[in-house]
Amino acid sequence: MDLGERLQVIRKRHGLSQRELAKRAGVTNSTISMIEKNTVSPSFSSLLKVLKGFPMSVEEFFTLDLVKSDQVIFRAHEQAEMQAQGVALQLIGHNIPDRGLSMLKETYPPGADTGAEMIKYEGEEAGTVIEGEIELTVDYKIYHLQPGDGYFFRTTLPHRFRNLGQHTAIVISANTGPTSTHPDQTAIGK
Amino acid sequence: MDLGERLQVIRKRHGLSQRELAKRAGVTNSTISMIEKNTVSPSFSSLLKVLKGFPMSVEEFFTLDLVKSDQVIFRAHEQAEMQAQGVALQLIGHNIPDRGLSMLKETYPPGADTGAEMIKYEGEEAGTVIEGEIELTVDYKIYHLQPGDGYFFRTTLPHRFRNLGQHTAIVISANTGPTSTHPDQTAIGK
DNA sequence: CCAATTAGTTTAAAATATCAAACAAAAAGC
DNA sequence: GCTTTTTGTTTGATATTTTAAACTAATTGG
């Protein structure tokens, strides 16, 4: 954070000399000079006085972009950074259309069963198994999911979840669709 | 601009005592005390040191919203529990509009950071912490999430995830929106 | 060209911030 | 209850910033 440079750039942008800014701010010109040269580290009160000379808020002062940059490109840069900073992401579901979102943490005791397959309205559902094992039936095809496995399907297809194992199973799921706006129905409907 | 109050609120939000923050920042506790009581007006260098203790950038510090607003996170105990045929469901987010769905399993090593807050296109994001601790910033408000806690927010708000803890953190998240149709961008963009 | 103005820099007192340590008050253990 | 720990506050010594004024350099105008 080069405070001095920041102040100087902004001051010049306003077309003010050190003395002119100092006068408006109620400080001496030497103060401005030293701050800009980073000879001193101004007190917060002094900084406030100086900014009043523009005038400019503290937030604005610190968030002002000194270099003109393209917003889109800035985003791309941020995105690259994030991956470089060690965040590992596993995409479980992909290619999605339209609709609302609900996320559920589902705990399946041994033997639990969502019951006979049922059809929800237009929507999608994705999920991943956190703990235990789950049997998933979608469109009359049977899948066995273990921790780390994920799934994605259209809720227009008949589906069912069962825990046939000996231990409790935990699934984190999210689903979209008209029913999502009615949590109760969604929950029971699962 | 009540600098003292601002610092105090943010410090407490981070769950730090004056001494603890001082230690991390490399200043004395008396400095923190006096700044918070507005007894002194800290030098910019001191302020920088203090913010490093969080850590937090100056921009973020001054733009952070101090007031509590719309609920963004849903604590473990706040989440609606539902039972359907022996399946325990915890509703984490609710009331959702329209859009597609993507689900991610996100692994945050200690120190991981999604980087500067960024704004995605129209959409929503919900999630829950499976393991470890995560610091979530949404719309310049900070939340600390622990296993069982969940969150929900509009991706039009600037947001950021960080793991400030010593252990790996795992979050299951789902998000909707136009970007969801582009898995790569979505994944990295988080 | 030479004074007069304006620019930014530097210097030694005055004002202020920071540190180290002691203080008070509350919370946590026992 | 009592001690120990943790919290935030205060105080005198030290370090830093701020001022006021002098200084340099460049520019403007006559």
How far, CA to CA in Å, does B104 sit from each of A108, A152, A175, B180, B189? 21, 12, 13, 11, 12
Separation between the CA of A19 and the C1’ of C3 (whole angstroms): 22
Task: Show the low-confidence residues of chain A (pLDDT under 50).
Answer: 68-100, 178-190
For residue A135, give the nearest of A167, A152, A110, A160 by alpha carbon: A160
Instruction: Give the distance from CA B124 to its chain's centroid.
Output: 16
Dihedrals phi, psi of B94, to nearest 5 degrees: -155, 170
**What structural domains and CATH numbers belong to chain B?**
3-63 (1.10.260.40), 73-189 (2.60.120.10)
CA–CA dist A180, A109 (Å, integer): 24
Binary contact (B84, A187; C-beta < 8 A): yes
Binary contact (B161, A87; C-beta < 8 A): yes
Separation between the CA of A34 and the C1’ of D19 (whole angstroms): 12
Binary contact (A87, B113; C-beta < 8 A): yes
Question: CB of A176 within 8 A of CB of B101?
Answer: yes
Which residue of chain B is at minimal alpha-carbon distance from A57? B1
Closest nt by CA–C1' to A28: D19
Q: Which of residues 101-120 of B touch A (CB under 8 A)?
A: 101-109, 111-116, 118
CA distance B147 to chain A (A): 12
In the predicted structure, residue B53 carries a pLDDT above the cut 60: yes
- pLDDT for the residue numbered B177: 53
Sheet strands side by side (includes A150-154): A150-154, A124-131, A169-175, A102-108, B87-91, B80-84
Question: CB of B15 within 8 A of CB of B144?
Answer: yes
Binary contact (B47, A46; C-beta < 8 A): no
Biggest distance spanned by C-alpha atoms of chain B:
62
A36 at interface of B, judged by CB pairs closer than 8 A:
no
Question: CB of A180 within 8 A of CB of A101?
Answer: yes
- pLDDT for the residue numbered A4: 94
CA–CA dist A91, A75 (Å, integer): 20
Residue A172 has a CB neighbour count (10 Å cut-off) of 27
Give the contacts of B29 (CB within 8 A, at least 6 positions apart).
B18, B19, B22
Task: Give the pLDDT confidence of B29-40 residue by residue, as tens digits.
Answer: 999 999 999 999
Question: CB of A122 within 8 A of CB of A96?
Answer: no
Task: Give the pLDDT confidence of B58-101 residue by residue, as tens digits.
Answer: 988 998 767 643 444 444 444 444 433 344 444 443 322 333 45
